[in-house]
Structure 1
Amino acid sequence: MQKKWRKVWSLFMYGKLKNTVYLLLIIQLIVLLTGGCAKRVTDGEQVSPDQKIVIKFSHVVAENTPKGLAAERFASLVQQRTRGRVEVQVFPNSTLYADGEEMQALQSGAVQIIAPATSKLGDLYPGWQALDLPYAFKNLDEVHRAMDGPVGQKLAKSLDSKGFMVLAYWDNGFKQLTNNVRPITSPGDLKGLSFRVMINSPVLREQFNLFGATPVPMPFNDVYQGIERNLVHGQENTISNLYTKGFYRVQSYMTISDHGYMGYAVMVNKAYWYSLPEDIRRVMEETMAEVTRWERAKAAEMNETYLKQLKDSDNLTITELTPEQKEAWEAAFKPLYASFAGDIGLELINELQKHN
């Protein structure tokens, strides 16, 4: 190192650096020599490709929904907290897999995390249909007590034999009705109308059949075009989905009925999950619990905000059911509980109703 410095100094002292160009070259040389002597700084977040764990998180809704935002937040926090060892890649809007394809993709290992609506899990275990029963919950506190307690635990355990594991339950909110034909104030107003329903849910189909309406199972990403092309008169959905997917632009009437809850089960392939290092699983579990609290609060906030915006728009005529009208709706839908008691199981229905 000393020899290198002496050479630079001798060039300067003997006048061999005659102009600014030479001086700049010497300055650059000094910087390079100094850098070579310094201790190399390493980036703790740079992980070699063979060390990095890449996890694909696929879902079917927009990025600016509660689920979409929570998935991105989870990905960001996990990458930070594992110092780059884990990269969660989020694929929203059915960019990888649509409704009806996600479960197979998770089972085959094509993706590592999905967050389907609980309505889509009835094919795996009939008990999941309990969450689709109209007016099963009166508010989100009841939802959270059920899903964080015995109901959620029982439903999660039901997936063990299928090789799936539930990491968390996320909110979307309560569903409202929209259509293009008329205002709906009573269940009888459903007669003669057709409504898109989620796939794999007999309860959702029967709730419309009960009042002479026609249910049309349809993947979520096809709903906008289905309404626009008059394949269905209407649909049921949460406020955040109505707003972020633009359904309100192609519908004329909305009823604030709060008739059903929509939530998500954040799921992984169980064998894959336990193949991960224990410290990685611990970080992801802690982060998922934190993000779940955040997601639930965000869902409630977004539904409230978007409802105000829908009320301020000229696209929809909005009907809000009174408490007395909601009680009448709840009574009208009660026969579904008896109809599905055999499939769902009285024990689970009774456990659900403890939270009412």
Structure 2
Amino acid sequence: MQKFLILMFFCAFLLQGCAPKAVDFEQTSPKEKIVLTFSHVVSDASPKGRAARLWADLVYQRSGGRIEMKIYPNGTLYKDGEELEALKKGYVQIIAPATSKLTGLDIRWGIFDLPFFFDDLEQVHQLADGPVGELLRKSMRDKGIEVLAFWDNGFKILTTDRPIKNLKDFLGLKIRIMDSPILKKQFLQLGAIPVPLSFNEVFEALENKKVNGSENTPSNLYSKKFYQLQSYVTVSNHGYLGYAVLMNSDYFNSLDQETRKILLDTLKEVTSWQRKAALEQNAEDLARIRNDQNIKIHDLTPEEKEEWQAVLKPLAYEIIPLFPKDLQAEILKTGNLN
């Protein structure tokens, strides 16, 4: 009987060690060492991956080693659809999902998904860094999530297993998308079949022909080698892809003032660097894709672009009316609805 009790105690001890630990959000002291876990799903070589590493390195240096940020890329810790829940439960401290992923919490984040709405990244930044971005930050804060920064990737292009030029070329085509209402409607309007899949599922879906194509930025297509699985690339630049750097609000507020200052001041610098780096990297990676002799590249002509725009631009009026009237004017002034 004694042996049995000892065995039961030992098993209970092991199980306790394996269970997720309770999150203690007591105020930290400036002298305590802080370890932050940053989980993301893209490559270390992507604009997001490079910025995460830079932020971690600078914070470590500036805190004298007191703040350590551990980076887990490529979905090694949590996959695409798991990150938000892990953040809410306190299993990770930082994530940086695509803004499209936040439409499930507040559909107004779909403003960044609108096709052909932004002519350039400067227009995106005007919204993200202004009153519209502040409203979206508050929408997440009300749900226990702190938006620390907006990072760019860039504008999306298409890879497919057949040429895409005219609208009729989309008919029946299965296109992988992120799970966003605007992205779904975008491809339904074009006559295609949108297939929501997590980022970690894309390579296998393209390789096994579960989908006929996908939309993504050149840096993601190149770093994850998606473009090598298909024969055609259409340089359409039809939509924006960006990220929100997020932290659990309770955890963020539990950090001492000095720690928050180091994190945020450094992040502001890294965000400025990241946006420039993303622009440069997408141009470089698109050039690399163009140099692949096995890929046929089509640049959307002005006439083809007008044809796509005529079908897609009305989607803006499904999102813009959801904002307060003063912000609707700001959005219309910033975006391209001509």
Deviations 1:182-240 (A, max 9, x none): 211123321110000012x0111111111221111101011011011010000000000
Residue 210 of structure 1: SS of its match in structure 2? helix
**1:144 corresponds to which of 110, 118, 125:** 125
Aligned match of 1:122: 103
Equivalenced residues, count: 305
Q: Which of 267, 280, 298 is the matching residue for 1:319?
A: 298
Q: How does 1:168-317 map to 2 (within 5 A)?
A: 168-180=149-161, 182-199=162-179, 201-317=180-296
Return the offset for 1:144.
1.2
Name the residue aligned to 1:19: none
**Alpha-carbon contact 2:166-2:304 (below 8 Å) kept:** yes
Match of 1:72 in 2: 53
Q: Which residue of structure 2 aligns with residue 162 of structure 1? A: 143
Q: Is the 8 A contact 1:67 1:295 kept in 2?
A: yes
Instruction: Say which SS state the counterpart of residue 354 (structure 1) adopts.
Output: helix
Q: Distance in 2 between matches of 1:165 and 1:308?
A: 36
Counterpart-to-counterpart distance in 1, 2:177 and 2:33 = 40
Q: Give the equivalent residue in structure 1 for 2:11.
A: none
Bigger RCO of structures 1 and 2 (CA < 8 A, at least 6 apart): 2
For 1:347 and 1:100, the matched residues in 2 are separated by: 34
Deviations 1:116-172 (A, max 9, x none): 000000111111011111112110111111111112111111112101111100000
The correspondence of residues 56-95 of structure 1 with structure 2, limited to 5 A, is 56-95=37-76
Amino acid at match of 1:192: G
TM-score, normalised by the number of residues in structure 1: 0.82
Identity of matched residues, %: 50
Q: CA deviation at 1:350?
A: 4.3
Question: How far has the Cα of 1:340 moved from its partner?
Answer: 4.5
| 2: CA distance, partners of 1:243 / 1:296 | 18
Report the Cα offset of residue 346 of structure 1.
Answer: 6.8
User: In the aligned structure 2, how far is the partner of 1:291 from the partner of 1:130?
Assistant: 24
> In 1, Cα distance between the equivalents of 2:182 and 2:160?
20
In structure 2, relative to structure 1, the CA distance for the partners of 1:328 and 1:344 (3 Å cut) is: farther
Distance (Å, rounded) in 1 between the aligned partners of 2:328 and 2:218: 27
- SS across alignment from 1:137: coil
Q: Cα deviation per residue 1:263-315 (whole Å; 9 max; x = unaligned)?
A: 00001111111111101110111100000011001101110111111111113
- The change in CA–CA distance for 1:252 and 1:343 in structure 2 (over 3 A counts) is farther
Partner amino acid, structure 2, of 1:136: F
Question: Aligned partners of 2:326, 2:308: CA distance in 1, in Å?
Answer: 24
Q: Which AA in structure 2 matches 1:171?
A: D
Counterpart code for 1:115: A
Q: Is the 8 A contact 1:58 1:90 kept in 2?
A: yes
What letter is aligned with 2:191? Answer: G
Amino acid at match of 1:281: R
Query: Are 1:332 and 2:311 matched, yes or no?
Result: yes
Give the C-alpha shift of residue 343 in structure 1: 5.5
Rounded Cα–Cα distance in structure 1 between residues aligned with 2:260 and 2:283: 34
Q: Which has the larger radius of gyration?
A: 1
Gapped regions of structure 2 (runs ≥ 5)? 1-30
Moved more, 65-74 or 122-131: 122-131
The equivalent residue for 2:5 is none
2:83 aligned residue (94, 102, 109): 102
How far is the alpha carbon of 1:325 from its aligned partner? Answer: 2.9
By how many angstroms is 1:345 displaced? 7.0
Q: Distance in 2 between matches of 1:347 and 1:208?
A: 30
Unaligned 5+ residue runs, structure 1? Answer: 1-49
Partners of 2:316 and 2:128 lie apart in 1 by 19
Q: Which amino acid aligns with 2:126?
A: R
One-letter amino acid of the counterpart of residue 164, structure 2: I
TM-score, normalised via structure 2 length: 0.87
